[in-house]
Amino acid sequence: MNTKELLVLALAAAQVAGAADFCDYNRNGKKDAFEDAAQPVEKRVEDLLSQLTLDEKIGQLNQLVAPAGDDKEFFALMRKGAVSSYIWTRTDPAYRNRFQRTAVEESRMGVPLIFGMDIIHGAYLTFPISLGLACSFEPELFERAQTVAAREARAEGIDWTFAPMCDLARDPRWGRVAETCGEDPYLSALCNAAQVRGFQGADPSAPGRVAACLKHYVGYSAVTGGRDYNDSEITEWELRNLHLVSFGAAVKAGALTVMSSFNTLEGIPAVANRHTLTDILRGDLGFKGFVVSDWESVMEMIRWGYAADKADAARLALNAGNDMDMKAMAYQPNLAAEVKAGRVTMATLDEAVRRVLRVKFQLGLFERPYVDETAFAAVEKAIDAELPLAREAVSKSVVLLKNDGVVPFRPGLKKVALIGPFAEDKTELIGCWNGRQTAARVSIAEALREALPQETALEVVKGCSVMTTPPTITQQDGRIVLDRAAVATDPGLELSKAVAAAKGADIVVMAIGETRSWTGENASRASLGLTGRQQDLFDAVAAAGKPVVAVVFSGRPLVLPRVWDKAAAVFYAWQPGMEAAHGICDLLAGKASPSARLSMSVPCDVSQVPAYYNGPTTGRPGQGQYRDTPERGSRYCFGYGLTYTTFAYGGVRMEGNEAVAEITNTGTREGTETAQLYIRQNVCHEGVRPARELRGFKRVTLKPGEKATVRFALNGDTLGYFDRQGKHRADAGQYTIWIAPDSRSGAPTAFAFGG
């Protein structure tokens, strides 16, 4: 039997045993160091690297999108060692094993492929989008959710997820705020580090773990006007203290990979920005893994007008520190000539390959390149066991913004009307990155029927569509022309039916919002209202005079002044995922109690964006506002959210270097309060710091009349910032401290640090 036959036999046997120990076999008659799992990773990397040809090295930097069919060309590339990774869009582990087998058993050096995929807020079991889950102010929830997602993904054969998104939400017009953990760097850092732990665990090579990828590096969320894929202009001061904070925390948590972003920064495409990719990411943040580009962004440098052709683009990106080329096929045919011509040094190429190989070893891909095809069948069945976690995540992420005492429902309701296009639609609730799931488990209508007592009648009216048929757009002489005379229409509009249902009910629940298809990537919006004719529907129903509970579904903070004013209660539910309906109905019926806080400020008006809370005081606090509106920034600020009870905060006192406050439940129901620590450095010569910055929070659950003491340590970590060299430091001096229920309230307390 030759070596290869031995290898195949051994692999088959090992798969039966459930642990393919590929490295016990060798491909050249001697056991190389890289094939020996007992050797240190660095030794294995160097050994393998030293045996790769120039073309095989470049192959390790090439990522393709998995073909839909059995494409011969792809198999030929794998045999040549010209593919390192696939974006895996298929759900068939047997097919994935065929790809892997070709790379491992039929290429010269047998380097395994790494299969990547966007597992963002769930694979099979979908959780709320990150913007929503961040409202829980409970980072461990992210860790628990992503542990489930990782297990499901790995069972399918996905080794690597393109998450978490560490971009900081700044402008709600940008559709991708849905994927962020909100506008605050501190909250976002904790949530993203927790996601890394959830995906990778303590040992990313352990079963059920995947490599995390921090994206999009860097400055993507600051795109001009919130228009996706645009340029960003961020000062180094803001970059260090806002945009990099979450990346830094997630790198510290051990993230194995990073994705560079689509935007430019100071005119340089992020994929070719040596300052951010090398000086900062590797130098200052200490990142050791590899960087993958975003989808074709290496090639997009040509369209930006930064690179002349793919060879130019490949050279610029690799030399800047972007290791892997996603989908553009710019590295694969071009880098060899660049190396031969000396425009890319062998040392630079080797370093990029080293980084990719290191992650493949760290993930255990050489030992376990294949996925257990039989175990995969159990994934969907296992979902049931995890449903309570998804349900808990929903009820902890839905924010109650207003309540005139109508929720939770009082006993004895005779009739409830449920109105709106989200009432029976399960696909809109699932979220913008729905993984392998296309719909929520049950609709709001079904869950509400379950939640209401038998004797309470429920009438459901759709009322209108989520979207209208848009006016026609035509091309004239190469220009796009919108036919303004053709008004958007909704053949499904049923205002009188909705009004009649409202009139006949004790209370109305309106399930409204924005269409999911206008959230996420390439989904910027200029207006932040309800989509289609939903505002007309709301106005008509609200005018019927019955109390309305608005449940708003969206991937961003929507600006809904008439809903805020006329509804008796308002919940912002975001896109809650598979258990959307149960989680929300638990809140309506009082089975769960709202505790979520806004992870992103809700602007008064689109003209007031951005409306984030953590800007400076300016030299003229309160002045410089718009003359033509009394509205200021946000209607509901970061950190805001109601519960079903009330809490009183005692004054903040200092006990040594601890800020301490007493919180009392002054209401009649048990509830969970999220006490938030905000700080301000009164004088900072390095640069102006925000008027307030979140630097701690604690969730406390109290029964009526019960008290709790919350304590926050005030030290270098809590008070510090990043200076212009990227060093974290805290200055001695005067600070102002708040312990408060949100970013706008609370009484200031003075604190002297290090004096």
State the catalytic residues. 294
SS3 state at 661 = strand
Smallest CA-to-CA distance from 422 within 263, 572, 553 is with 553
**Cβ of residue 740: shortest distance to ligand BGC, in angstroms?**
35
Is the Cβ of residue 56 or residue 118 nearer to ligand BGC in the bound state?
Answer: 118
Is the Cβ of residue 263 or residue 334 nearer to ligand BGC in the bound state?
Answer: 263
Is the Cβ of residue 48 or residue 359 nearer to ligand BGC in the bound state?
Answer: 359
Is the Cβ of residue 294 or residue 446 nearer to ligand BGC in the bound state?
Answer: 294
Enumerate residues 134-173 that contact ligand BGC by CB under 6 A: 162
Q: What mask of x and - would describe binding to ligand BGC in positions 576 to 605, judged by CB under 6 A?
A: ------------------------------
**Cβ of residue 22: shortest distance to ligand BGC, in angstroms?**
28
Cα gap 746→755, rounded to integer Å: 25
- Please, which residues bridge with residue 728 across strands? 722
Cα gap 228→198, rounded to integer Å: 29
Cα gap 285→245, rounded to integer Å: 10
Task: Give residue number: closest CB to ligand BGC.
Answer: 162
- Please, which residues bridge with residue 116 across strands? 87, 160
Instruction: Report in angstroms the alpha-carbon separations of 72 from 60, 69, 77, 431, 478.
Output: 20, 9, 9, 35, 39
Cα gap 255→288, rounded to integer Å: 9
**Cβ of residue 529: shortest distance to ligand BGC, in angstroms?**
26
Q: For 548, which DSSP code?
A: E
Is the Cβ of residue 310 or residue 327 nearer to ligand BGC in the bound state?
Answer: 327
Tokens at 356, concatenated: 């990719």
The 10 Å Cβ neighbour count of residue 535 is: 16
Enumerate residues 512-541 that contact ligand BGC by CB under 6 A: 521
DSSP characters for 187-236?
HHHHHHHHHHHHHH-S-TTSTT--B-EEEEETTGGG-GGG-TT-EE---H
DSSP characters for 58-95?
HHTTEEEEPPSS--HHHHHHHHTT---EEE-----HHH
CB contact at 8 A, 153 and 198: no
Q: What mask of x and - would describe binding to ligand BGC in positions 403 to 422, judged by CB under 6 A?
A: --------------------
SS3 state at 692 = coil
Cα gap 250→254, rounded to integer Å: 7
DSSP characters for 669-689?
S-EEEEEEEEEEES--SSSPP
Q: The tokens 């600020």 sit on which residue?
A: 637
Among 35, 56, 118, 156, binds ligand BGC (CB under 6 A): 118
Is the Cβ of residue 209 or residue 327 nearer to ligand BGC in the bound state?
Answer: 327
**Cβ of residue 220: shortest distance to ligand BGC, in angstroms?**
8
CB contact at 8 A, 670 and 593: yes
**Cβ of residue 39: shortest distance to ligand BGC, in angstroms?**
33
Distance of CA 496 to the CA centre of its chain: 40
Is the Cβ of residue 150 or residue 560 nearer to ligand BGC in the bound state?
Answer: 150
The answer to whether 294 contacts ligand BGC (rule: CB under 6 A) is: yes
Task: Report CA torsion sign: 741, 745, 746, 749.
Answer: positive
Q: What mask of x and - would describe binding to ligand BGC in positions 188 to 217, judged by CB under 6 A?
A: ---------------------------x--
Instruction: Report in angstroms the alpha-carbon separations of 609 from 171, 174, 558, 606, 744.
Output: 6, 11, 11, 6, 17
Instruction: Report in angstroms the alpha-carbon separations of 266 from 19, 230, 285, 304, 411.
Output: 49, 12, 20, 13, 60
**Cβ of residue 181: shortest distance to ligand BGC, in angstroms?**
15
**Cβ of residue 198: shortest distance to ligand BGC, in angstroms?**
17
Enumerate residues 54-93 that contact ligand BGC by CB under 6 A: 87
Is the Cβ of residue 223 or residue 652 nearer to ligand BGC in the bound state?
Answer: 223
Tokens at 194, concatenated: 């927790």
The answer to whether 174 contacts ligand BGC (rule: CB under 6 A) is: no
**Cβ of residue 148: shortest distance to ligand BGC, in angstroms?**
20
Q: The tokens 């039966």 sit on which residue?
A: 16
Instruction: Report in angstroms the alpha-carbon separations of 223 from 129, 188, 232, 272.
Output: 21, 19, 5, 17
The answer to whether 295 contacts ligand BGC (rule: CB under 6 A) is: yes
Is the Cβ of residue 257 or residue 634 nearer to ligand BGC in the bound state?
Answer: 257
**Cβ of residue 480: shortest distance to ligand BGC, in angstroms?**
23
Angle at 438 between CA 435 and CA 439, to 5 degrees: 125
CB contact at 8 A, 668 and 591: no
Q: Environment class of residue 103 by beta-carbon count within 10 Å: exposed (0-12), middle (13-18) or buried (19+)?
A: buried
State the distance between the two ends of the chain, measured CA to CA, in whole angstroms: 78
**Cβ of residue 521: shortest distance to ligand BGC, in angstroms?**
5
Is the Cβ of residue 87 or residue 314 nearer to ligand BGC in the bound state?
Answer: 87
Peptide bond into 610 cis (omega under 30): yes
**Cβ of residue 294: shortest distance to ligand BGC, in angstroms?**
5
Phi, psi of 523 (to 5 degrees): -140, 50
Smallest CA-to-CA distance from 572 within 583, 556, 548 is with 556
**Cβ of residue 250: shortest distance to ligand BGC, in angstroms?**
15
Q: The tokens 């005018």 sit on which residue?
A: 543
How many chain residues are in contact with ligand BGC, going by CB under 6 A?
7
Is the Cβ of residue 152 or residue 167 nearer to ligand BGC in the bound state?
Answer: 167
- Please, which residues bridge with residue 115 across strands? 86
Tokens at 527, concatenated: 């207006």
The answer to whether 697 contacts ligand BGC (rule: CB under 6 A) is: no
Is the Cβ of residue 437 or residue 676 nearer to ligand BGC in the bound state?
Answer: 437
Cα gap 750→473, rounded to integer Å: 59
The answer to whether 433 contacts ligand BGC (rule: CB under 6 A) is: no
Is the Cβ of residue 216 or residue 546 nearer to ligand BGC in the bound state?
Answer: 216
**Cβ of residue 269: shortest distance to ligand BGC, in angstroms?**
14
Positions touching ligand BGC (CB under 6 A) are: 87, 118, 162, 215, 294-295, 521
